Structure 1
């Protein structure tokens, strides 16, 4: 039986068209804010070990529907919060240890195609119903990743 984790963020995730052009520091603040929102909504739902293979459905409920490339590209910040942090290989002795997916909360192992099937949908709704719904379904070995 596959696990299903579902949570709702109180607002639609920000689109790339609204977040490009900001300084590095502002972009970092926005990414940290997204991590805090996901942690507040779903930290208690986190599995003991990250899911090895998963299907992630992100539904962006908003007044308008964005174009497809903007919708999918913008989902990256939400997806990065679902991954698991991992140390990168240090090439030179004495170098500072850096992390891959440092804002990850440990829901899924990685966002590579080997570990993830991603679907992103735009849902048109009224202004008072805007939100982001994230559903993570574990894929068992006998299920086909498609």
Structure 2
């Protein structure tokens, strides 16, 4: 049986045209803000174990219609919030431990093609109806069910 998680952010996610060119500190603050928004809306929906394979559908409802490459590329910060943090291997003894996907909330294992299929849609709407709808559907292999 496939599991589905769906949540709605109150505003459309910011586009790359708006977020590029800022300093490292401002970009980090924007990424943290995105993580806090997703956590506030959907933290209680987290599965007990992250989905190993998932299909993620992101619908960005906004007044204007961005071009396709801007729409898909801008979804990266949102997708990074859905992943699971994990420590990277330390090659040098005594080196600082680094974390991959440190802003991840644990909905899916990773955002690589092995674990994720992505679909991003732009939906034109009125100003008062702007939002971002995220739907995460677990992909269950047919071999496992048989």
TM-score category of the 2 structures, normalised to the smaller one: over 0.9
**Cα displacement (A) at 1:80:** 0.1
Deviation (angstroms), 1:142: 1.5
1:56: Cα distance to partner? Answer: 0.2
> Which residue number in structure 2 is paired with residue 24 of structure 1?
24
1:99-138 → structure 2 map (5 Å cutoff): 99-138=99-138
Normalised by the size of structure 1, how large is the TM-score? 0.97
What RMSD in Å do the two structures reach over aligned CA positions? 0.8
Give the total of aligned pairs.
Answer: 143
Q: Which runs of 4+ in 1 moved over 2 A?
A: none
CA deviation profile, 1:35-88 (whole Å, cap 9, x unmatched): 000000100000000000000000000000100000000000000000000000
- Which structure 2 residues correspond to residues 39-50 of structure 1 after superposition, within 5 A? 39-50=39-50
Q: Which residue of 2 aligns with 1:33?
A: 33
Residue 85 (structure 2) aligns with: 85
Q: Give the whole-Å Cα distance in 2 for the aligned partners of 1:95 and 1:38.
A: 32
How far 1:135 sits from its partner (Å)? 0.1
Residue 26 of structure 2: SS of its match in structure 1?
Answer: helix
When normalised by structure 2's length, the TM-score is 0.97
